[in-house]
Chains A and B, each alone.
Chain A
Amino acid sequence: MTSGVSISVAGVGKTFADGTQALRPVSIDVAAGEQLAILGPSGCGKTTLLRIIAGLEHPDRGGAVLFDGRDVTRLPIEKRNVGMVFQSYALFPNMSVIDNVAYGLRVRGMARQARHAEARRVLDMMRLSELSQRRIDQLSGGQRQRVALARALAMKPGVLLLDEPLTALDAALRDELRAEIDALLRSLEITTIYVTHDQAEAMVLGDRVIVMEKGGVAQAGSPRDIYFKPANTFVAGFIGSMNRIDGPITGGMLACPAGHLPVRAADAASASVRFRPESAKLVPAGQGGLTLEIERVHFLGATQRVYLRHAESGLALIVDGNSRLDLVPGTKVGLAVDPSNFIML
């Protein structure tokens, strides 16, 4: 298929007629063929940004959208050759599956036989061939989702834009389709922007992830960077689970009511250190820097999540660890954290 176009979003902001500032001016570059995930809480402007890139919404004055260096800011969506997948799928109820998939080619004026042949090829690729004559209301949610993707791909778009395409599906199907979409997109090398509020989706599908907060970009980076090196407290709190301990640092030691932890940081009267649940280790009480009580244990199969609590100060921490370890709530344990695993913000 076609290789994708590069996208450049330059100083794009959006204030709606009612005064809502949905987007503070943002600038984003997406390389040709890159898979970009946009992640953020509800209302942070993800859909608005995607719709501006698609051409369904105009940016405020001064903002520009470029495809392969060409300014498309004033070009309506029907002239941009973007494929779109909507959360509601937006399949045409008055057409069969194959006519849905062939619709874009029909608009382009391709003859019926040729466009159906092309649509059948895409349906084959998505393993939907048996459904080609079905009506839309005869499809399951997962099938609708795949038809919506097939319809967008049949146009061989340079850009594929997806707005929470899996949100309406149940968890198991979501995992399955996530893997399927990932494999498909990588084989097609289309430039893809994937909007989601699901971290796992963003991490799996994004070569790069942009985390948005309140109409702005909080951080842009690889999934690893976003996870291990969050740029600010918002990203640290939003992605994954995060522990936080507050206290003064003196001589490379952080003091807190539950004990002391060695840190690589300068002295400070008050500081916050953060670490992921999986970067701490449980040790026998008395060993390690901190001593806490096991409050609850959630067995998750491959791992287990241990909720620790320091009764006197109320300090609560979580630790993910080996699920074969048999832990009894109420017992005291020690906690050790390698200083290299601390995230200082």
Chain B
Amino acid sequence: MTSATRFSVILILPLTIVVVAFFLLPMAELFARSFVSRNGGITYAEILATPRYLSSLGATLIVAALTTVITLALSTLVGLLLARSRFPGRSLLLAVLTFPLAFPGVVVGFLVILLAGRQGLIGEVTRLATGEKLVFAYSMTGLLVGYLYFSIPRVLLTIVAAAEKLDPALEEAARSLGAGPWRVLSDIILPALRPAMLASGALAFATAMGAFGTAFTLATNIDVLPMVIYTEFTLNANIAMAAALSIVLGLITWLALAIARQASGASVAAAG
């Protein structure tokens, strides 16, 4: 062994230990325990055969997908406006927008209850206006509002940063070639923002898939997957099922991130 290779081995050793001990071993354990169910069947087959698990998976996917789509639409719109305008208080506004990033999911859930819970702001206003109390904190809508609350700032800031880096001459060139504002948006600006949208959108999706605190606080009638995993593990002591559901959740999230990385990587390369 040359001294150079010995040196790199010494460097790699601690990393290897950390990866094996804290990452690979628990993962392997989780994976190993995820196959044989409590009743001696195959957990993954049981998931497919149990409506409760399937509907939970479906609901989680729908909430995460809706969160991603709505977040991207709103953030792109607002982000483009923010990137193009200069007004007093702009940087303060951007700073305030990052505020929700500082809250854990539990606090976000609490905020949603304050907003749309039984004693919530929206309930009071609608009661005064129509006589009917509008309460949606404990429904799918409440969960969605909570997820939007913490995904929008992250995505918005990424898109503002990407939009500010756009060469204004690109848009002017497109206009000189006859393109109106909508064509410029669809042909030039959105393609240029695509990598940022994919990367931040995937992150929003992944976060929404795995978010637990908000769902837990809202104690809703919707069972999102992380809640089901929690219930299986703590209340039912069904470790095999909790492990199998965790693997499913992990795979979906990992896939979303991988696809986004692939897509944004390729388009980043294409954009030079």
Contact = CB atoms under 8 A, between A and B. Distances in A.
Closest 4 CB pairs of A and B: A137-B272, A104-B177, A90-B169, A90-B173
Interface stretch (B36-44, B104-112, B145-153, B178-186): B178-186
Interface residues of A, number: 27
B188 A92 contact: yes
Which range contains the number of B residues in contact with the other chain?
20 to 34
A152 B192 CA distance: 21
Given A92-B170, A94-B271, A77 B191 contact: no
A141 to B, nearest CB: 13
- Among B175, B177, B188, B194: residue with most chain A CB under 10 A: B177
B260 to A, nearest CB: 17
Contact of B177 (A88, A136, A155): A155
- Among B167, B169, B173: residue with most chain A CB under 10 A: B173
Contact of B175 (A76, A94, A137): A76
A6 to B, nearest CB: 19
B178 A104 contact: yes
B172 A86 contact: yes
A291 B170 CA distance: 58
Contacts of A93: 192, 270-272
A83 interface: yes
A343 B110 CA distance: 83
A84 B176 contact: yes
A78 B178 contact: yes
Given A78-B180, A88-B169, A94 B270 contact: yes
B176 A135 contact: no
Contacts of B177: 78, 103-104, 107, 151-152, 155
A324 to B, nearest CB: 49
A184 to B, nearest CB: 19
Given A88-B167, A92-B188, A152 B272 contact: no
Contacts of A155: 177-178
A94 to B, nearest CB: 4
B174 interface: yes
Contacts of B192: 93-94
A78 B183 CA distance: 11
A20 to B, nearest CB: 15
B175 A77 contact: yes
Nearest to B86: A17
22 contacts: A56-B175, A77-B176, A78-B175, A78-B176, A78-B179, A81-B178, A82-B176, A86-B173, A90-B167, A92-B188, A93-B270, A94-B188, A94-B191, A94-B194, A94-B267, A94-B270, A103-B177, A135-B272, A137-B270, A137-B271, A137-B272, A155-B178
A54 interface: yes
Contacts of A136: 272
A55 to B, nearest CB: 8
Nearest to A86: B169
Interface in A113-167: 135-137, 151-152, 155
A83 B271 contact: no
Contacts of A79: 178
A76 B183 CA distance: 15
